[in-house]
Amino acid sequence: MRIWIIAFSVFWSVCSVSQTRYFDSDPQLNDKRLAIEFNTELYASSNAISNQFLYGFISGGEISSSTQEDMLKNTSYQNRLGVDFNTGFTVHFKPENQNKISYSFGIHDRQHANASFSGNALKLLIDGNKQFAGEEIDLSEFSFSMIRYQQIKAGISWKYKPGKSFHFSASFLNGEQYQSAQMDYLTLYSSAYGDEIRFNGEGTIYQSDPENRGFAKSNGYGASIDIQHDWELALGQNQNGLLSVALNDIGFIAFDGSSHKQEIDTLYSYKGTQLGNVILPFDTSYTFIGPDSLAEDILKKKDTTGYNIILPGWFRVNLYQQFENFDVKAGFQARFNGSHNPYFYVESKYFLNEKWKLGGILGAGGYSNFNIGTSVEYSTDKITLQALSQHLESVVVPSRLGGLNVQVRAIVKI
């Protein structure tokens, strides 16, 4: 059982350092020839883990039983959570005497983690296994993955016909670290008398070289592409619109031969005297405290080998329409290979004046069930500043809902 306990600990450690929805990818250069863009995004969301629980976990403070009970009311048979922390810059430039083609070059640090887990797994994490005395609980279909990589990206945007544009970029990826656990079948039995624990599981664990960690350290290399097509729409004078269809982060990373792979396919039973909680409850230490032989036997097969992983990519469809004093944007996003539900959203910005815009966001799906957000934008001919937060509902009701999100973007046009 240490497998998924480690996974949760690693996941929330990412949260403590770090439905992703980026801003529109390419700033409008108009009569400018150069734009420098800076982006930072911090995102964490779950349909089961509440903000109050998360705050207590990160700070090490006490979490009340009422907070735990409120959070457990949100759990379903299968739950999900996701984290993204991305930062970087992009340079956009347009050649002299060329208004149809522009180029871009960027460097980014990307981090992502996601997990899918049952309600029983969350109860086990919070209160330990003693609560299930005399029962066999099903923890199957547990998955966890965490990846960090650096990205060097070059792209081209081409307005090949009036009202139609094509965008393409290719990236070189440096695979810094990767961890994953996929348990296709997993059950745990604790005897009513506390003298036996039985583990039955089948799955695979992957981990990049644990001795080679740190920013820009390399454990493998890969590549990815981004493709987008835009159609300009117009309902009337000064009512510009845009339909965009995009594929993002379509790629892979090949981790080298210093990486580890562990196959788990075992039925293991341990009998002793008053074992009690082999998995300690939340308010102690999230640690496997059973006999060392139990963990060693479960994880006894370990290979050093290289492997390829597919990035958690995106499919996006966005529709934008501008009116006289406001605009509206609606979209659909699907993330594959990331424990992510389809996400739908609508966003509207009101033009306070020529420089300021204030917006609101409503969304459903993704890693949470729904979200309410806000955005603010300041823009002149030379600079654009944007800030966005998608999960205000989790700030208002932190004991029941989970979500943290801040995105900041700055564009300087020259």
Q: How many CA atoms lie within 13 A of 130 on its CB side?
A: 14
Q: 36 is written with which tokens?
A: 């420098």
pLDDT over 70 (residue 299): no
Examine the pLDDT at 254 and tell me if it is beyond 90.
yes
Q: What is the pLDDT of residue 77?
A: 78
CA atoms within 13 A on the CB side of 142: 28
Structure confidence at residue 183 (pLDDT): 87
What confidence score (pLDDT) does residue 21 get?
46
pLDDT digits (tens, 9 = 90+) for 359-410: 999 999 999 999 999 999 999 999 999 999 999 999 998 888 889 899 999 9
- For the chain, the domain total comes to 1
pLDDT at res. 356: 97
Calculate the alpha carbon distances from 202 to 110, 206, 266, 299, 332 in Å.
31, 14, 7, 11, 35
- Whether residue 284 contacts residue 127, with contact meaning beta carbons closer than 8 Å, is answered with no
How many angstroms separate the CA atoms of 263 and 187, rounded? 16
Q: What's the CATH number where 278 sits?
A: 2.40.160
Q: What is the pLDDT of residue 291?
A: 47
- Give the tens place of pLDDT for each residue, 144-174: 999 999 999 999 999 999 999 999 999 999 9
Alpha-carbon span 392 to 200, nearest angstrom: 41
Which residues face 250 on adjacent strands?
A: 225
Q: What is residue 171's three-state secondary structure?
A: strand
pLDDT digits (tens, 9 = 90+) for 1-31: 444 444 444 444 333 333 444 445 555 655 6
Residue 246, CA atoms < 13 Å, CB-side half-sphere: 28
Show Cβ contacts of residue 404 under 8 Å, excluding neighbours closer than 6 positions.
15, 42, 43, 44, 45, 51, 54, 391, 394
Q: 73: pLDDT confidence band, cut at 50, 70 and 90?
A: confident
The number of beta carbons lying within 10 Å of the beta carbon of residue 95 is: 10
Which pLDDT belongs to residue 29? 58
Domain span at residue 336 reads: 2-413
User: Nearest to residue 50, comparing CAs of 28, 66, 29?
Assistant: 66
What phi-psi label fits residue 192: left (phi over 0), alpha (psi between -120 and 50 degrees) or beta?
Answer: alpha
Q: Are 155 and 226 in contact (CB under 8 A)?
A: yes
Give the CB-side neighbour count of residue 118, counting CA atoms within 13 A: 15
For residue 289, the 8-state DSSP code is -
